[in-house]
A and B are shown apart, each in its own frame.
Chain A
């Protein structure tokens, strides 16, 4: 029984890293722009399909596609912000929910005719090799995906805490008006934030695509999970998103390995409801305070 629990914890932490990368972008856009980006799930799937496309054309290693998908996704994110999010002045937060949902649908609508609706998975050369821990096997790909996700996440944090633009992003998320007063260009910051968040989602999409099968309309399941993670950690809190991702995925995988996989998804969302009843602001969320 203990071994099953250990297996769940290990798998949960490894896949939790990938989810943390997706969720960090989501929580950052909320903190900085006050936008609930329903399209984040679609951006993840977009990243996975971009990788598939690049692999199909140039026949390179799927994980190397990160160097292409991330800049492309950054550009897509900036364009999306300028075209679809920036014009929302009236009732911004409520409108952002429907507009980003439509944006996600647009991405699905573009991917559908190109890649069709069959299940795909990003074929990595070492997908079948694994190593032994106690009494079970863990695929190397899980370890690699986790490592890459953490590395990109670290770059993300370095950017936010060590560069001038990053300080601007954090300033806007703490106090928009104050940041504007001291000379932060909030519109530029918004575009960069959205671009970064999209790049993170696409990078996580490449890793996600190597671990799990997906279709153009996988976005619903993904966004529901990401939103749950972000709220569990505390909306707008970046460390909260990482903690939320690991807690949720460990919880889900432990239930899957110890009890039954079919109850695991239920536990995932039920955990959120239970935590919020006890602590309405999430694990790391301050009362209404938005911190990065």
Chain B
């Protein structure tokens, strides 16, 4: 499971992958991806009563996957991704309040809001990545509070009252649908980018940083540039999600969008499923967000929801320290390999490491 960037065969693996086409198992993965997309995109037809929950879940899939592009691949545990989420929401609110757009045209502002978040990530990343990985965790958390208190005090952005969005004139049972599809498109975009990053030479530099930054520097990787680029990319994508979310709840105020609990929850979801893998954050979000909604619905009145959620987190994190996806695929691979060895005892087990595309940190196939 280790990434070995010094092994030249690992470096050419992605090249070979694109030249020879995907291995056969990837077609199965592609089929699963298409099926998942088909289920998700027809959700309004057969689960119309749950659109709000579906939107929330998709949002956390997007947030955790966007976090993963920087936090998971480089191993720098950014605790403050809600900063970008909030900036996206605020940028969307400020732009749309001044533009007087139609309800659908509003979605055109979303990329702009993402760019604002991405631009913010440049000085933020430059300053915070100067400290070492441990202090970085804490600095990102502090910046979240800087933003919360800044927006609380600045009347330009509405102060503690926040900013309201123009509310679209859609009827009750249709209201959630445009937001749902906007978020679905964003999820597809983020997961695709995450997939491409993982398969690229750029992604390889990120994984090398995660494994051993000093060695990565010694082998000539410009780690500073890679980290900043991934950070800005992650910030831009998180900003997109924040913009759609702000429009969806039609209101944005400081304690709500710069919420530390949400910020840590994103990280927890990624670790729950498997940080640094493509599938992990998706699985983590799909399990945890509905669970959290259900828990607060049924146990919230007795204040027991936090206790149960915390217990689940602890048990799963201790039982599957690398995340559910990685632990399960690793045990499946072990079983398959031992079976293969048993069936052909005359031939020694092939050394799989170099022939596998890039690195087998859990499941690397498409969603």
Closest residue of chain B to A106 (Cβ to Cβ) is B310
A125 vs B267: C-alpha distance when bound (angstroms): 44
Q: Is A167 located at the chain interface by the 8 A CB criterion?
A: no
Please determine whether B134 and A235 come into contact, CB atoms closer than 8 angstroms. Answer: yes
Whether A109 lies near B317 (C-beta < 8 A) is: no
- What CA separation (Å) do A98 and B72 show in the bound complex? 13
Given A102-B268, A266-B146, A276-B128, 20 new contacts (CB under 8 A): A36-B137, A89-B321, A93-B133, A93-B134, A95-B271, A95-B321, A102-B310, A102-B317, A105-B310, A106-B307, A109-B306, A113-B302, A113-B304, A116-B303, A231-B135, A265-B149, A266-B152, A268-B145, A276-B135, A276-B139
Stretch in A158-166, A176-184, A200-208, A280-288 with 4+ CB within 8 Å of B: A280-288
A87–B128 Cα distance when bound, in Å, is 30
Give 1 or 0 for each of A87-121: 1 = CB within 8 Å of chain B CB.
11111011101110111011011101100110000
What are the 8 A-B residue pairs with the smallest beta carbon separation, nearest first? A109-B307, A266-B149, A102-B313, A106-B310, A109-B306, A105-B310, A112-B303, A227-B138
- Chain A interface SS verdict (over half): helix
When distances are taken between beta carbons in the complex, the residues of chain A under 8 Å from B260 are 220, 224
Within 8 A of A (CB), among B269-322: 271, 275, 302-311, 313-314, 317-318, 321-322
* A280 interface neighbour in B130, B310, B317, Cβ under 8 Å: B130
Specify the chain A residue showing the minimal Cβ separation from B315: A102
Check: A230 CB closer than 8 A to any chain B CB.
yes
For A230, the chain B residues whose CB sits under 8 A away are: 138
Check A109 against B271 for contact (C-beta < 8 Å).
no
Q: Which of B201-247 contact A (CB under 8 A)?
A: none
Q: Given A266-B150, A277-B127, does the pair A113, B307 have CB atoms closer than 8 Å?
A: yes
Cβ of A103 and Cβ of B314 under 8 Å apart? yes
Q: 8 Å CB contacts to B: which residues of A225-247?
A: 227-228, 230-231, 235
Is A270's CB within 8 Å of the partner chain B?
yes
Least CB distance, A149 to chain B, in whole angstroms: 22
* Cα-based distance from A70 to B308 in the complex (angstroms): 27
Tell me which of A36, A101, A277 contacts B138 (CB under 8 A).
Answer: A36
State which of B77, B135, B149 has its C-beta within 8 Å of the C-beta of A282. Answer: B135
Q: In the complex, which residues of chain B have a beta carbon less than 8 angstroms from the beta carbon of A36? A: 134, 137-138
- 12 residue pairs of the A-B complex, CB under 8 angstroms, read A91-B321, A95-B321, A105-B306, A105-B309, A106-B310, A110-B307, A113-B304, A266-B150, A268-B145, A269-B142, A269-B145, A281-B132
In angstroms, Cα B75 to Cα A135, docked, is 52
Within 250-279 of A, Cβ neighbours of B (below 8 Å) are at 262-263, 265-266, 268-270, 272-273, 276-277
Question: Known: A269-B149, A273-B143. Contact between A84 and B314, CB under 8 A?
Answer: yes
Instruction: Enumerate chain A residues within 8 angstroms of B305, measured Cβ to Cβ.
Output: 109
Residues of chain B at interface, number, CB under 8 A: 47
Answer yes or no: B261 CB below 8 A from chain A CBs: yes
Secondary structure call for the B interface: helix
Chain B CB within 8 A of A30 CB: yes
- Given known pairs A36-B134, A224-B145, A273-B143, the reply for A97 and B77 (CB within 8 Å) is yes
Contacts of A268 in B (CB 8 A): 145
Once bound together, how far apart are the Cα atoms of A109 and B146, in whole Å?
Answer: 27
Question: Does B317 contact A228, Cβ atoms closer than 8 Å?
Answer: no
Known: A88-B321, A106-B307, A266-B150. A94 touches B75 (CB 8 A): yes
Task: Judge whether B17 is part of the interface by a CB distance below 8 angstroms.
Answer: no
What separation, in Å, do the CA atoms of A105 and B312 have in the docked complex?
A: 11
Instruction: Report how many residues on chain A are interfacial, defined by Cβ distance under 8 Å.
Output: 49
A290 CA to B187 CA, complexed, in Å: 41
Task: Tell me how far the C-beta of A4 lies from the nearest C-beta in chain B, rounded to whole angstroms.
Answer: 19
Q: Are A273's CB and B138's CB within 8 A?
A: no
* A106 vs B311: C-alpha distance when bound (angstroms): 6
Nearest-CB residue, chain B, relative to A88: B321
Rounded to whole angstroms, the CA-CA distance of A281 and B141 in the bound complex is 17
Name the distance in Å between B112's Cβ and chain A's nearest Cβ.
Answer: 26
Instruction: Kindly state whether residue B131 has any CB partner on chain A within 8 Å.
Output: yes
* Residues of chain A within 8 A of B261, CB atoms compared: 220
Does B79 reach chain A (CB closer than 8 Å)? yes
Closest CB in chain A relative to B281 CB, distance in Å:
13
Q: Does chain A have a CB within 8 A of B264?
A: yes
Interface residues of B in 77-100 (CB under 8 A from A): 77, 79
B149 pairs with A109, CB closer than 8 A: no
Q: Are B130 and A101 in contact, CB atoms less than 8 angstroms apart?
A: no
Residues of chain B lying within 8 A (CB to CB) of residue A263: 149, 153
B300–chain A nearest beta-carbon distance, Å: 10
A231 touches which one: B127, B139, B271, B311 (CB < 8 A)? B139
Min CB–CB distance A76 → chain B (angstroms): 15
Q: Chain A residues with Cβ under 8 A from B304's Cβ?
A: 109, 112-113
Q: Which residue of A lies closest to B264 (CB)?
A: A101
Closest to A94 in B: B77
Cβ contact within 8 Å between A227 and B142: yes
Residue of chain A at shortest CB distance from B270: A98
| CB neighbours of B309 from chain A (8 A) | 105, 109
State whether A270 touches B130 (Cβ < 8 A): no
- Indicate if the CB atoms of A231 and B268 lie closer than 8 Å: no
Whether A97 touches B314, Cβ cut-off 8 Å, given contacts A266-B149, A273-B146, is no
Tell me which residues across on chain B come within 8 A of A88, comparing CB atoms. Answer: 318, 321
